[in-house]
Amino acid sequence: MLRYFILFQCFQIIICILYPLVDPNRLYDYNPPENEVTFHLYDRKNFSKNYEIFIGNSTSFEQTQFNTDEPTIIIIHGWTHGNDTPWVRELAEVLAGTNFWNVLVVNWSKLSRVTYVEARLHNTVVAKQVKKLMIFLAETKYYSMSSVHIVGHSMGAQIGANAAQRIHIEIGEKIGRITGLDPAAPLYEFPHIESLDEVLDPSDASFVDAIHTNAKHIGMITPAGHVDYYVNGGQQQWGCNTWRCSHIRACELFIASIRKPDLFKAFSYDSWVKFNDKITNSLEVYPMGIAASPKIPFGIYFLEVKDEYTKYVSSKTSLMDSYGSYFGEMQLLNLF
């Protein structure tokens, strides 16, 4: 079984290399049904309950606790994940528990639990559905897009950027904030840079911040926001032996920042080497995570994080949570 898992990973790499050379639409069905993208509003009193919201259906909003006087956070997961993935559930629950935000989760798991290239091709339909829902909300509830904060992990960050661009083009309103949690690099940053319409950048929202934890590998190394945080240099995280572990760490750190907004203190430096060579006590410190804001001078920031975040995160997203849909839980257990 292990050899099949390794062959599968090799197949992903080969297809990614060939992506700019061949027409991927010939390899995959690029017409997924729109109803495979669903939207779920979390109940603030009962976290086990969430309401499914339907585009064009005002009643589906009226039957929920959606409050037009409060800001909204939209969570978008990445490849192989869904609204049942541990980090997604915990992030939604901790946000809903603050009673400050409407918390909406975009579930595109039926389109994400496929090969990486196929999921990449599905980005457009997911972004279009997010755009449609937001415009429906703006037109029927007179809800300002400046009150919307998109939090996307990996491929979800790129989908959020695409949706935000489409919203701005169609109704002339900019999303208030986008937070990219280790925005995906394969087929966005390499083997070549994609159009800025499809890659997170500062033009996508009034404020864009990005947390880099697996740069040069699964995540982008290129600055993607007004403010970019490179945790432990942005590539390898404390206690991690795999890229996947470092990639997920961005989600865990963001969750921890909600429970303790002043936990992470970042410093402005040109590089990780300079950060390590200089004394940081005399420099201005700025928060990373939920407390980040346009008040922070735009630029690149570095910080060291070890295990201090762990007491503020209760979930753990395992290898089975990411790849179990391919091989089945018991089969994946047999690999190790």
Give the pLDDT band (50/70/90) at residue 30.
low
Crossing angle between the packed helical segments 319-327 and 2-18, to the nearest 10 degrees = 90
What mean pLDDT value characterizes the chain?
86
Give the pLDDT band (50/70/90) at residue 46.
confident
Most confident of 29-38, 229-238, 265-274: 229-238
Q: What is the predicted pLDDT for the residue at 107? A: 97
Q: Are 220 and 184 in contact (CB under 8 A)?
A: yes
Give the pLDDT band (50/70/90) at residue 223.
very high
Return the SS3 of 228. strand
State both tokens at 139: 């037109």
For 91-142, how does the pLDDT look when each residue is reduced to its tens digit (9 = 90+)? 999 999 888 899 999 999 999 999 999 999 999 999 999 999 999 999 988 9
What one-letter code names the amino acid at 37?
A: V
State both tokens at 310: 């762990």
Q: What is the predicted pLDDT for the residue at 17? A: 46
pLDDT above 50: residue 3: no
- List the domains of the chain with CATH numbers: 2-333 (3.40.50.1820)
In the chain the first and final C-alpha atoms are separated, in Å, by 10
pLDDT above 50: residue 4: no
Q: What is the predicted pLDDT for the residue at 270? A: 86
The span from the CA of 96 to the CA of 113, in Å, is: 26
Q: Are 235 and 214 in contact (CB under 8 A)?
A: yes
pTM above 0.75, yes or no: yes
Give the pLDDT band (50/70/90) at residue 28.
low
Query: Of 194, 172, 167, which is closest to residue 74 (Cα–Cα)?
Result: 167
Q: What is the predicted pLDDT for the residue at 203? A: 96
The span from the CA of 263 to the CA of 291, in Å, is: 10
Q: What is the predicted pLDDT for the residue at 224? A: 97
Q: Are 43 and 118 in contact (CB under 8 A)?
A: no
pLDDT above 70: residue 25: no
- The reply to whether omega before 191 is within 30° of 0 (cis) is yes
Give the pLDDT band (50/70/90) at residue 6.
very low
Most confident of 121-125, 249-253, 319-323: 249-253
Give the pLDDT band (50/70/90) at residue 62.
confident
What one-letter code names the amino acid at 211?
A: I
Task: Give the residue numbers annotated as catalytic, written as ranges.
Answer: 154, 182, 247
pLDDT above 80: residue 18: no
Give the pLDDT band (50/70/90) at residue 148.
very high
Q: Positive or negative, the Cα torsion across 205, 210, 214, 220?
A: positive
